[in-house]
Structure 1
Amino acid sequence: MLAAFRLLAATVLACLSLAAHAQLSIEITGAGASRFPVVIPVFENEARLPRGVTDVVRADLERSGLFTLIDIGPLPLPESVVPDLAGMRGRGADAVLTGSLVPQANGSYDVRFRLFDTQRQLELGAMSMPMTPAQNRLVGHRIADFVYEKLTGMPGHFSTRIAYVVKSGPRFELQVADADGMNQQAALISREPIISPSWSPDGSQLAYVSFEQKKPIIYVHTLATGQRRVVANFKGSNSAPTWSPDGRQLAVVLTKDGRSQLYVLNADGSGVRRLASSSGIDTEPAWSPDGQWIYFTSDRGGSPQIYRISASGGGAQRVTFDNAYNVTPRPSADGKLLAFITRNGGRFQVAVLDLATRQTTILTDSARDESPSFAPNGRMILYATEVGGRGVLAAVSSDGRIKQRLSVQAADVREPAWGPQIR
């Protein structure tokens, strides 16, 4: 009865949005050496909205560390008119965005925008999308993604979401927020730890480990409905779930047969099969983007190192050789880089391994990093670290040049996971 009450209480609480105290604040602590100077003016008719669109676009681009905003004042640049590109170039801008909100009969708007290159005096692209006044942030993020991709050649990540765990006093909260830390909501609130959130490839579900039944159990949680199901509750520990790229399977770590070992099961919890047998501890699995391999941490060689194994099983191959301690492998979406935590001179730091050249680069200068997670475009890595004895999130670009810090006032923030890009 007590267990049932706890489950019911957690389900009810999952429907509640967090108060403002749990909102992530983002501080830029380092930026790229060169930036694109761009003009992002107010859109035509934007003043009709209770909350703006272009302020979201500006904040996204500026926070990325790749853009400098050129201010041209409060006047809008309508989408229907080609701006004075030579004049904008003279003011230092390499690109100009123009836009209009066209009112519709049902109270919504058609948002139309165009991006111009001032150096080559040409249009780089145009788009339109419907928007209700309440969708200003979503549309702003998508416009920022459009600008980012046109100017860098890489997909943007502003319209993605992140998951993380906030500990405030005795309460643990599994949070989901926009990539800028805004629009946060609680998926689960518990008085017991929550760890290892992992996004499904379509962004609709989170797998995670909850201790609410006084032992680690793996759940899959549907975010739209708040409904969840147990997928692994075997004897001993059930931990470290990670989704296969097709969303049909989870790699997990179970101790039901003794030591922590790797298993694969279907997303509904059926079809459990052991992936490998090891005399050591195997943990922290992560699928390669093509679904062919599973990277994992193991001490089978004496010290914690990263290995990979075929998703169908077989022999394991060692991946990391630099330093005596390398854990938590997380591949980028293009399969070219592997982020992980390495011990470097007594400090635990985020590093990336170029899987083609085998070159390792340490990206951070902090001392207690953990849980790295790539943005879908591979440009940024979100991770947890510690500042002043308190857990915070941070992000670093894959080349180490751009750095951000994300924190919640008077709370510990840990266990980050960056969600997929939903087109």
Structure 2
Amino acid sequence: MMIMKKMSYVVLCAGLMLGASGAQAQLRVEITGVGSNQIPVAIANFDQESVAPQPLSSIIKADLARSGAFKLIDADTAVAETANINFDQWKGRGADALAAGSVQQLADGRLDVRYKLFDTIKGVQLSSMNNAAAPQFNRLLAHKIADDIYEKLTGVKGAFSTRIAYVTQTGREYRLEVADADGEGIQVALRSNEPIISPAWSPDGTKVAYVSFEKKKPIVYVQNLVTRQRTIVSNEKGSNSAPSWSPDGTRLAVALSRDGHTQVYVVNADGSGLRRISNSSGIDTEPQFSADGQSIYFTSDRSGGPQIYRMPASGGEAKRVTFGGSYNISPRISSDGKTLAYISRRDGNFQLYVLDLASGQELRLSDTANDESPSFSPNGKYIMYATESGRRKSLAVVSVDGRVKQRLTTQAGNIKEPTWGPFMK
């Protein structure tokens, strides 16, 4: 069945949320490993795509290659979406699918981008898209097409058009930066001479919560990325840390030491209605709402060493979740609620693990020794985390099966504290 898609104005605007702040040094992406069953697909050059700031076909190819799920068949020619497709020819070249398209510059300066995806085995059209947008949205248009190809051929929603946030440190300056999922389009949300930690996206992708030390103590803020307005959510006595959004975006879970030792609290997104929900004699920290909002995962040393626990979001009995190893921290839950990611210390190494919550099966995903801050992609297929190599901190991405790995580095300082944004509506 042919599927027609139009891109919403909101999604387009997302690409320029911080447009006035100025771009920073580009992240460099290195890819290793491939998926177990790569899908052979040809991405033809789009007809007349030279009128765009960058060739859309190149951006689409880079997205699909980065996923590790596709074997790219060299198309070496331009094919418009209106062309008569010789399916046997493309099958003969080893392609199970073909993407073709065109770009036209309209009188008002916008780019009219059209694309179709074909199943060369069955000889049918799988999908199509038609969008007109200003040239500065060129990359976003390409990411949306890559998302469509990924979803039609794998059955899983693509996440190429999503955003990431992270902290960059250069000398004594800290920057909270927002970028496209491929590391392009970097914009600065906040600059400070004091540390910034623990950024967390709101479910609608318009805000980021984080901890800033700009007032010489840790305070939890929420910043609107569209208006740049900031709200103090928690400035209690002692430490205010580790904000995590509820799935509906109305509340945050935070870790506060206001009553002595650190415990888990829930607060409304505007800073009202603070309520303590954990009560232990140990340290309870790093809270994370479950995918359905009914539970909170958190780190606690109540059993003698740090382990991950789960309790009702309203408070109550906590049950231990991690049992492998004596030191497990930084819980993150996948969007389907089935997989827990965390950092585990074993043999002196801090490494990224995932736990299948149904089977209890553990899997180590990283081969580095100093990992931190895992964050799932919104489709649950990849995890971004911070790591250290050669005394430099960088970001890494790994597929949940451990087969595909990426490293995002920059020449300008250390990058850490990543958080992967949601799907934009």
TM-score of the superposed pair, with normalisation by structure 2: 0.93
* Per-residue Cα deviation, 1:93-126 (whole angstroms, up to 9, x for no partner): 1110111234444332332211111122222122
The answer to whether the Cα contact below 8 Å between 1:397 and 1:403 also exists between their aligned partners in 2 is yes
- CA apart distance, 1:410: 4.3
Q: Counterparts in 2 of 1:240-255, with a 5 A limit?
A: 240-255=242-257
Which residue, out of 363, 373, 383, partners 2:385? 383
Structure 2 CA distance, aligned partners of 1:99 and 1:269?
48
Structure 2 CA distance, aligned partners of 1:343 and 1:286?
20
- CA apart distance, 1:411: 1.2
Corresponding position: 1:17 with 2:17: no
Structure 1 CA distance, aligned partners of 2:54 and 2:193?
36
The answer to whether the Cα contact below 8 Å between 2:52 and 2:111 also exists between their aligned partners in 1 is no
Structure 2 CA distance, aligned partners of 1:410 and 1:177?
15
* Per-residue Cα deviation, 1:285-338 (whole angstroms, up to 9, x for no partner): 111111000000000111110001101111111111111111111000011101
Aligned AA (2:80): P
Name the residue aligned to 1:396. 398
Structure 1 CA distance, aligned partners of 2:285 and 2:311?
12
Could you say what the CA RMSD is over the residues aligned between the two structures, in angstroms?
A: 1.5
Which residue, out of 154, 178, 199, partners 2:201? 199
Structure 1 CA distance, aligned partners of 2:361 and 2:236?
39
Structure 1 CA distance, aligned partners of 2:27 and 2:47?
31
Name the residue aligned to 1:137. 139
Corresponding position: 1:61 with 2:67: no
Name the residue aligned to 2:51. 48
Aligned AA (2:313): A
Q: Counterparts in 2 of 1:241-390, with a 5 A limit?
A: 241-390=243-392
Corresponding position: 1:226 with 2:223: no
* Per-residue Cα deviation, 1:155-209 (whole angstroms, up to 9, x for no partner): 1110000000011111111110000000001101111000000000000000000
Mark the CA change 1:45 to 1:111 in structure 2 (over 3 Å): closer, same or farther: same
Which residue, out of 157, 161, 164, partners 1:162? 164
Q: Counterparts in 2 of 1:75-90, with a 5 A limit?
A: 75-90=77-92
Residue 81 of structure 2 aligns to a residue whose secondary structure is: coil
Aligned AA (2:48): N
The answer to whether the Cα contact below 8 Å between 2:51 and 2:103 also exists between their aligned partners in 1 is no
Structure 2 CA distance, aligned partners of 1:133 and 1:276?
50
Structure 2 CA distance, aligned partners of 1:209 and 1:17?
23
The answer to whether the Cα contact below 8 Å between 1:113 and 1:127 also exists between their aligned partners in 2 is yes
The answer to whether the Cα contact below 8 Å between 1:15 and 1:187 also exists between their aligned partners in 2 is no
The answer to whether the Cα contact below 8 Å between 1:15 and 1:186 also exists between their aligned partners in 2 is no
The answer to whether the Cα contact below 8 Å between 2:51 and 2:105 also exists between their aligned partners in 1 is no
The answer to whether the Cα contact below 8 Å between 1:165 and 1:194 also exists between their aligned partners in 2 is yes
The answer to whether the Cα contact below 8 Å between 1:14 and 1:188 also exists between their aligned partners in 2 is no
The answer to whether the Cα contact below 8 Å between 2:387 and 2:395 also exists between their aligned partners in 1 is yes
The answer to whether the Cα contact below 8 Å between 1:326 and 1:343 also exists between their aligned partners in 2 is yes
TM-score of the superposed pair, with normalisation by structure 1: 0.94
- CA apart distance, 1:35: 1.8
Structure 1 CA distance, aligned partners of 2:157 and 2:287?
26
- CA apart distance, 1:224: 1.2
The answer to whether the Cα contact below 8 Å between 2:53 and 2:138 also exists between their aligned partners in 1 is no
Residue 141 of structure 1 aligns to a residue whose secondary structure is: helix
Name the residue aligned to 1:28. 31
The answer to whether the Cα contact below 8 Å between 1:328 and 1:341 also exists between their aligned partners in 2 is yes
Residue 366 of structure 1 aligns to a residue whose secondary structure is: coil
Residue 367 of structure 1 aligns to a residue whose secondary structure is: coil
Unaligned runs of 5+ in 1: 1-12
The answer to whether the Cα contact below 8 Å between 1:165 and 1:195 also exists between their aligned partners in 2 is yes
Which residue, out of 126, 145, 158, partners 1:124? 126
- CA apart distance, 1:38: 1.2
Residue 145 of structure 2 aligns to a residue whose secondary structure is: helix
Name the residue aligned to 2:6. none
Name the residue aligned to 2:103. 101
The answer to whether the Cα contact below 8 Å between 1:219 and 1:230 also exists between their aligned partners in 2 is yes
The answer to whether the Cα contact below 8 Å between 2:161 and 2:180 also exists between their aligned partners in 1 is yes
Percent of aligned positions that are identical: 56
- CA apart distance, 1:32: 2.1
* Per-residue Cα deviation, 1:131-168 (whole angstroms, up to 9, x for no partner): 22221100000000000011111011100000000111
Structure 2 CA distance, aligned partners of 1:129 and 1:61?
20
Structure 2 CA distance, aligned partners of 1:103 and 1:236?
57
The answer to whether the Cα contact below 8 Å between 2:306 and 2:328 also exists between their aligned partners in 1 is yes
Name the residue aligned to 2:173. 171
Residue 80 of structure 1 aligns to a residue whose secondary structure is: coil
Name the residue aligned to 1:146. 148
- CA apart distance, 1:15: 5.5
Name the residue aligned to 1:70. 73
Which residue, out of 228, 234, 237, partners 1:235? 237
The answer to whether the Cα contact below 8 Å between 1:262 and 1:285 also exists between their aligned partners in 2 is yes
After TM superposition, the structure 1 stretch with the greater mean CA deviation from structure 2, 37-46 or 299-308, is 37-46
Aligned AA (2:164): I
After TM superposition, the structure 1 stretch with the greater mean CA deviation from structure 2, 231-240 or 94-103, is 94-103
* Per-residue Cα deviation, 1:42-85 (whole angstroms, up to 9, x for no partner): 21221222322221111111111122222222x32111224111
**Count of residue pairs the alignment pairs up:** 408
Unaligned runs of 5+ in 2: 1-17
Name the residue aligned to 1:37. 40
Aligned AA (2:67): S
